[in-house]
Chains A and B, each alone.
Chain A
Amino acid sequence: MAAAIGVIDYGMGNLHSLGKALERVSSSTRVVISYDPEELLACDRIVLPGVGGVRECMNELRRLELNEMVVEAARTKPMLGICLGMQVMLEWSDENEGVPALGLFPGKVQRFPEPPADAPERLKVPHMGWNQVKQSRPHPIWAGVPDESWFYFVHSYYAKPVNPDHVLGTSEYTHEFAAAIARDNIVAFQFHPEKSQNLGMMLLANFSHWAP
């Protein structure tokens, strides 16, 4: 049976482009978009995408009985978090008056500061558009991706992992923040590889071959 990448579909946002992008970069791999925990656990690797608010995301993961599946998969399979899918991997998010999250990485998620009205250049929130990612350390996921490449971001909250060793890449917006985190068999991006042209495709391709 062909290898399979499971994309967790908890009903929020557009998985169309992510699914197409994964199919494109890994022709020998099946892409399974599903909310069925068993079907997902049968896949070789797991992607946790996400847009929208963290409270609704956690509610939906629990309602669909996916949260235990994610924690289980995080122990055993290569796993990729994207955007909100990365943020829920921390322990806590300040969004929506504060929400406990999955706790796969120690640390929390907090909001970018509002720009002071007299700032010389007002930085808007959300942080939306293309920004450069500085690679904090070597990792197989970066294979073929030049340091300080551009990726597409759209978010108002950012992750603050406690352990500096978990930071895989950083970007600058009001201050330096974690744009990518990783440990063991888990890697997660705050930006959207599926919206980031060729280099985004390369990250997805690297994930589809990654053997942690």
Chain B
Amino acid sequence: MLAKRIIPCLDIDRGRVVKGVKFEDIQDAGDPVEVARKYDYQGADELVFLDITASHEDRPTLFHTVEQVAREIYIPLTVGGGVRSCADVRALLSAGADKVSINTAAVERPELVTEAGSRYGVQCIVVAIDAKRVNKKKEPLRWEVFTHGGRRATGLDAIEWAAKMVKYGAGELLVTSMDRDGTKAGYDNELLKAISDAVSVPLIASGGVGTLEHLYQGFSVGCADAVLAASIFHQGTHTVGEAKAYLENKGIRVRR
């Protein structure tokens, strides 16, 4: 049977891995090839690169980084950040990305997802959704989609948006809770479960992991198909192997 996936996420700025809390206090955390190789060795099932380079002029640096990593690492690589057009998708795929994640541009023009999916295959189009709780206390739960790295509200309901994106041809969804991102308080499992129930494509949980138990809850409560984590791996709190041993012990099927 299919294994649940563990995916370390690397923030990339001008060709270097960086770490910081919510885009602030950013520190250099190494060479992407070295970091990718380390996670590959630890048994990561996939890798996600999120390009946070501010200037679009630095785009060739990202392509170079993707090329270098793809030359050495033979597990699937998803690249996101600043993807605006089919040409951007193609450029990343030809640099060696296996999947491309689209966020803000999908909100601005949902047809981009359809076009990219029909041209390059829906399996390589990941739609990233940044969602935030907006209901008042005692109201039913409700989440809104945010874009531009979480700075801009869209008015879109996150569950409806997820279902729409799948209809438009998203092959996979990467759902980040903005309430939890950087808090180490665990995923927003209610958000994940609501989206998982609404769509038929695989769901990657993101935002808030602080412990291995959080990864487990992402699967058992949030019904995610894959869990994304950054700081628990980058800070050396846990290896991917430790995460898998923990999950396996709890009855989650992982690749060992």
Q: Which residues of A contact B (CB under 8 A)?
A: 12-14, 16-17, 20-21, 51-53, 56, 114-115, 122-132, 150, 152-156, 172-173, 194-198, 200-201
Residue in A20, A115, A130 whose beta carbon sits within 8 Å of that of B2 in the complex = A130
Min CB gap A114→B, angstroms: 6
B120 touches A130 (CB 8 A): no
Q: Quick one: closest B residue to A150, CB to CB?
A: B255
Residue numbers in B under 8 Å from A201 (CB-CB): 74
Q: Quick one: closest B residue to A16, CB to CB?
A: B96
B40: interface (CB < 8 Å) = yes
3 tightest A-B contacts by CB? Answer: A52-B121, A51-B121, A130-B255
Residue numbers in A under 8 Å from B96 (CB-CB): 14, 16-17, 20
Min CB gap B62→A, angstroms: 15
Interface residues of B in 103-157 (CB under 8 A from A): 118-124
Asked whether A128 and B200 contact (CB < 8 A) given A17-B98, A150-B255, the answer is: no
A195 touches B94 (CB 8 A): no
Min CB gap B121→A, angstroms: 4
Residue numbers in B under 8 Å from A172 (CB-CB): 1
Residue numbers in B under 8 Å from A156 (CB-CB): 122-123
B123 touches A129 (CB 8 A): no
A16 touches B94 (CB 8 A): yes
B11: interface (CB < 8 Å) = no
Residue numbers in A under 8 Å from B123 (CB-CB): 51, 126, 128, 154-156
Residue numbers in A under 8 Å from B118 (CB-CB): 53, 56
Asked whether A195 and B76 contact (CB < 8 A) given A130-B45, A150-B3, the answer is: yes
A173 touches B121 (CB 8 A): no
The digit string for B82-98, where 1 denotes a CB below 8 A from any CB of A, is: 00000000000111111
Interface residues of B in 53-77 (CB under 8 A from A): 67, 70-71, 74-76
Asked whether A12 and B120 contact (CB < 8 A) given A127-B2, A128-B202, the answer is: yes
B74 touches A51 (CB 8 A): no
26 A-B pairs whose Cβ atoms sit less than 8 Å apart in the complex: A12-B120, A12-B121, A14-B93, A14-B94, A14-B98, A16-B70, A16-B93, A17-B70, A20-B71, A51-B123, A115-B200, A122-B200, A124-B225, A128-B172, A129-B2, A129-B3, A130-B45, A130-B255, A131-B2, A153-B2, A154-B123, A154-B171, A173-B1, A195-B75, A197-B74, A200-B74
B214: interface (CB < 8 Å) = no
Most buried by B among A122, A123, A128, A132: A128
Give bound CA distance, A152 to B98, whole Å: 12
Most buried by A among B5, B75, B98, B172: B98
Residue numbers in B under 8 Å from A125 (CB-CB): 200-201
B45 touches A129 (CB 8 A): yes
Q: Quick one: closest B residue to A11, CB to CB?
A: B119
Residue numbers in B under 8 Å from A14 (CB-CB): 93-94, 96-98, 124
B228: interface (CB < 8 Å) = no
A124 touches B200 (CB 8 A): yes
B226: interface (CB < 8 Å) = yes
Min CB gap B149→A, angstroms: 26
Residue numbers in A under 8 Å from B201 (CB-CB): 124-126
Give bound CA distance, A166 to B118, whole Å: 31
Q: Quick one: closest B residue to A199, CB to CB?
A: B74
A196 touches B74 (CB 8 A): yes
Give bound CA distance, A127 to B122, whole Å: 12
Residue numbers in B under 8 Å from A195 (CB-CB): 74-76, 98
Asked whether A128 and B97 contact (CB < 8 A) given A114-B200, A197-B75, the answer is: no
Interface residues of B in 1-40 (CB under 8 A from A): 1-5, 40
Residue numbers in A under 8 Å from B122 (CB-CB): 126, 156
